[in-house]
Chains A and B, each alone.
Chain A
Amino acid sequence: MALRSAPPVETLGSDTVPLKRQLRRAEARRTLRAVGLVLPAFAFLFVSFVVPIVSLLSLSVQNPEVPEVLPRTAAAIRAWDASVLPGPEIVAAFIADLREADRVKTVGRAGKRLNYDISGFRSLMLQTARDLPPPETPAPRLLDKLKALDDRWGQIEYWAAIKRAARPVTDFYLLAALDRTRDIQGRVVQAPADSAIYVNTLARTFWISLVVTVVCLVLGYPIAYLLAGLPTRVSNFLMILVLLPFWTSLLVRTTAWIVLLQPEGLVNDLAVFLGLIRQRVPLVHNRTGVYVAMVHILLPFMVLPMFSVMKGISPWHMRAAASLGAGPLLAFWKVYLPQSMPGVAAGSLLVFILALGYYITPALVGGANDQMLSYFVAFFTNQTLNWGMAAALSVILLNVVLVMFAVFHRVVGIDRLKLG
């Protein structure tokens, strides 16, 4: 009791500062130094990785074209309820905007955005801007003038598209990436079947990645097991063979598979020569070709983490199991396999995520029905410059990966991963 009520006795250091505080200071200094050391790396990551990715992904909801090019129209059309054709003040604002946009050459920008919604809107805008009714036309007659120019201006859906595009933020791209669209009243509806492709492509992307991961695992596990059991000198040599594909360009390897697998190719020649088959089998330009080429490219990513984990499993464990009466299979199952799981998990996750992003390989060795989602990301980024759509598809893919990652964490545990 007396001890508890006694005032705390501070141990004094040499220069009369309490030792505890000295220790705390020293620790704080060390933390500061550590933070200082990793700060450049974090800053680099932030500037070169986080900022560009976030800013690109944000394009999937940005919608500046119509509000910027047609500001008065965008303001006026928001109150319009899309049940009848817009009134004269909206049409007048639209024509005033278009006149100004034609002067500063920005009609194409708004036209391109509207064309994403309704094909043909681009040329409609450009054509209309060229032949605008004269400025002195009375406002009530403007809509008739537009209709005379092109009867599409008499259809509500074209005006509704302008209304949909009039806000600076939009869900248009994200909906489109999920094969959804909005109708005239603004309700979310299924896209027509003849142009709904992205959900299917997403499912296909996952299926192909999953199959590739499983095949890599089945092929890679014995390789890693073999390498881990060999003396270092031999295993290093064999490891070079595993890594060899890294020294060849991805395109060269893919093209090499086309040469090998095509109907008049080496594999078929050999099979016919050996009498295994009579009719030459198509092995490339179909799903088989995609699997073969992707597994070949991704196999090292599976073998490496598994190898490094297996290398750390002491051979004594297996011997101990054997001495306790377990047969080789049981010992492997109960002792070796569980210990190698972190490597299996890391390799599988690595291969799966890398496989999700493939598009050149499926494009070259795949058939018509083997396109993966990144193909369309590249198409929209590079070919049509529809970065909103590219970003939306990326957002969908990224989110699905994050969900997968969370599930994976629940089931396996990220802390158990071992990448090397």
Chain B
Amino acid sequence: MRGALTLVVLVITAAAIAGLLVPAPATAQDSITVTSWGGAYSESQRKAYYEPYLQKTKIRVLEDEWGGDMAQIRAQVQTGKYKWHVVDVETDHVLAGCDEGLLERLDYKAIGPMDQFLEGTTHECGVATISWSTIYAYNADLYPAGAARPSTAADFFDLKKFPGKRGMWKSPKHNLEFALIADGVPVKDVYEVLKTADGLARAFRKLDTIKSQLVWWEAGAQPPQMLSDKVVVMTTAWNGRIYDAVVKHKKNFVIVWDGQSLDYDWFVIPKGHPQKDLAVKFIAFASTPEVQANQSKYISYGPTTKKALTLISPAILKDLPTAPANMKNHFRVNAKWWADRREELTEKFNAWLAK
């Protein structure tokens, strides 16, 4: 038995060591590494960006995946050993990384005129590549034709009209804003109200009304699964995931766009990258409207350039967060506000969860 045990220890150790080994970075001139979030999203980038880029410039895009751990970018900058040329990040990362000096400042002369982008999609340390949104969706199998169906933010909190469990992202972000909107705060005032102690208490009070019925999710893949398994009758989710379940897996899910929150993904370059020029060149290519418009064929995320919106066919446009019909009552996630208050509100949110 001692032999068997030694074997187990050996296997575990070997696995641990294998995990430590990092593939050698590609240093060849004709390739760059772009890191993104994997799954259907990376696939859409492959088809819309990487493959055309190879054809056009003979530069191959190598892919890597990450899960949003800024520590990985920090490690590369601090050690000077760069694995990634370009990283697809969220708004929080752009602000935090820029503050901490982990990201290159971009020269828009090399990327494209600033005014080709939609408002709020440019930053000194990053260029937005897609818009996505947090919406809520329900499983239409549970609401037969003719019966009332959820259609507003307030309906999500209405246990009388629509009883049953609800799924929500286990994070204060989006939930607090969404609760206020459902409580009747106009979308444009959300952060003004939330800024005050009273407003914050009001948001938590609204969440209290459905707390007993809430199931919390952590990963983006969970909401469609929970809807499909009927663990919940409705759940907040990222719109692309729901769209994917509807199109690819023929699920009968319906998105409610009322009170949706718009956010962006950004392309950034780790600070001090020796091949910064190659990275900039790729970002410039990925920011051209024609290329951007192409991506929405593969995933329901919206482009960030004005012209790209006009190039997308109406059939596709209707499922994008930035389609005019879906934008009637939306808010933009205020990343600066969250950069100030994220830790404080995460603590308060967790204290509230534990109550």
Contact = CB atoms under 8 A, between A and B. Distances in A.
Interface of A: 105-109, 111-112, 115-116, 119-123, 126, 193-197, 200-201, 236, 239, 243, 246, 259, 262-265, 285, 304, 307-308, 311, 363-364, 367-369, 371, 379, 381-386, 389, 420
Interface string B240-260: 000000000000000000000
A384 B5 contact: no
Contact of B8 (A236, A243, A259, A363): A243
B68 A304 contact: no
Contacts of B219: 364
A105 B101 contact: yes
Contacts of A120: 340-341
Contacts of A307: 1
Interface in B96-127: 96, 98-101
Contacts of B354: 197, 200, 368-369
Instruction: Determine chain B's interface SS by DSSP, over half rule.
Output: helix
B350 interface: yes
Contacts of B12: 246
Interface string B142-181: 0000000000000000000000000000100000000000
Nearest to B218: A363
Contact of B5 (A107, A197, A308, A386): A308
Given A120-B340, A264-B231, A367-B216, A112 B1 contact: no
Contacts of A389: 343
B230 interface: yes
B346 A379 contact: yes
B1 A385 contact: no
B21 interface: no
B230 to A, nearest CB: 5
Nearest to B6: A420
23 contacts: A108-B101, A109-B99, A112-B96, A115-B343, A119-B340, A119-B341, A120-B341, A122-B339, A123-B336, A194-B352, A195-B348, A197-B347, A236-B4, A264-B230, A264-B231, A285-B231, A304-B8, A308-B5, A311-B1, A382-B68, A383-B70, A385-B96, A385-B100
A120 B196 CA distance: 12
Contacts of A107: 99
B214 A197 contact: no
Nearest to B221: A255
A182 to B, nearest CB: 16
B101 A382 contact: no
Interface of B: 1-2, 4-6, 8, 11-12, 67-71, 74, 96, 98-101, 170, 214-216, 218-219, 229-231, 336, 339-348, 350-354
B5 A420 contact: yes
Contact of B216 (A197, A239, A368): A368
B231 A263 contact: yes
B278 to A, nearest CB: 24
A265 B96 CA distance: 41
A384 B342 contact: yes
A181 B299 CA distance: 47
A194 B231 CA distance: 30
Q: Which 8 A-B pairs have the closest CB atoms?
A: A108-B99, A382-B69, A368-B353, A119-B344, A195-B347, A420-B5, A119-B341, A120-B340
Contacts of B341: 119-120
Given A195-B344, A246-B11, 9 more contacts: A108-B98, A108-B101, A122-B99, A243-B8, A308-B1, A363-B170, A368-B216, A368-B353, A385-B96
B338 to A, nearest CB: 11
A363 B99 CA distance: 30
B4 A106 contact: no
Contacts of A259: 229
A383 B336 CA distance: 15
A405 to B, nearest CB: 21
B343 A368 contact: no
Contacts of B100: 108-109, 112, 385
Contact of A197 (B1, B2, B350): B350
Contacts of B350: 197, 201, 371
Contacts of B4: 236, 239
Nearest to B105: A105
